[in-house]
């Protein structure tokens, strides 16, 4: 697994409206830890858009982390929409985040709709796994 080295974007790819360095960039750079499952979800999406595979791997729970993770450089991530969150706050140990991530591959638009499970382990949030939903409009 490797990390892509590119200039940081001005706006955060997660769609929060904040500057990248003030939003997900601080997590990806290791300057801070996400306080909530949603922050981790957003930072993982941003890491995917920037091909920061090391961060994606490091934030995957050890019990479900795949042995190898290779981002497809042909995927163009277009946007993230958080549908709902359940628990996952600073005092919780588990959380759910449902989201839709839009992307383009081979000139064709796609939507990844997932209900992701997160767990706090040794004081840090980790992505555990998720259930994919069929593509549909939101």
User: What's the token pair of residue 58?
Assistant: 């490091």
Number of folded domains that form the chain: 1
Q: Exposed/middle/buried for 38, CB within 10 Å: 0-12, 13-18, 19+?
A: buried
Residue 40, φ and ψ in degrees, nearest 5? -65, -45
Is the pLDDT reported for residue 82 higher than 90? yes
Range of 46's domain? 20-133
Least confident of 4-18, 21-35, 56-70, 110-124: 4-18
Say how far apart CA 38 and CA 127 lie, in whole Å.
10
In a domain, residue 91? The reply is: yes
In a domain, residue 6? The reply is: no
Say how far apart CA 106 and CA 29 lie, in whole Å.
30
Residue 112's CATH number: 3.10.450.50
With cut-offs at 50, 70 and 90, classify the pLDDT of residue 72. Answer: confident
With cut-offs at 50, 70 and 90, classify the pLDDT of residue 42. Answer: very high
User: What's the token pair of residue 92?
Assistant: 């919780």
Identify the pLDDT of residue 134: 65
Say how far apart CA 101 and CA 116 lie, in whole Å.
12
How much of the chain exceeds pLDDT 70, in percent? 91
| Cβ atoms of residues 115 and 90 within 8 Å | no
In a domain, residue 12? The reply is: no
């Amino acid at each position: 697994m490797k990390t892509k080295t590119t200039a940081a974007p001005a706006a955060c790819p997660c769609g929060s409206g904040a500057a990248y360095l003030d939003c997900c960039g601080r997590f990806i750079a290791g300057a801070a830890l996400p306080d909530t499952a949603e922050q981790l979800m957003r930072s993982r999406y941003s890491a995917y858009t920037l091909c920061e595979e090391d961060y994606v791997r490091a934030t995957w729970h050890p019990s479900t982390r795949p042995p190898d993770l290779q981002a497809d450089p042909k995927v163009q991530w277009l946007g993230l929409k958080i549908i709902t969150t359940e628990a996952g706050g600073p005092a919780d140990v588990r959380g759910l985040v449902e989201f839709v991530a839009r992307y383009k591959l081979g000139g064709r638009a796609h939507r990844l709709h997932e209900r992701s499970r997160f767990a706090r382990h040794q004081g840090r949030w980790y992505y555990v796994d998720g259930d994919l939903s069929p593509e549909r409009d939101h």
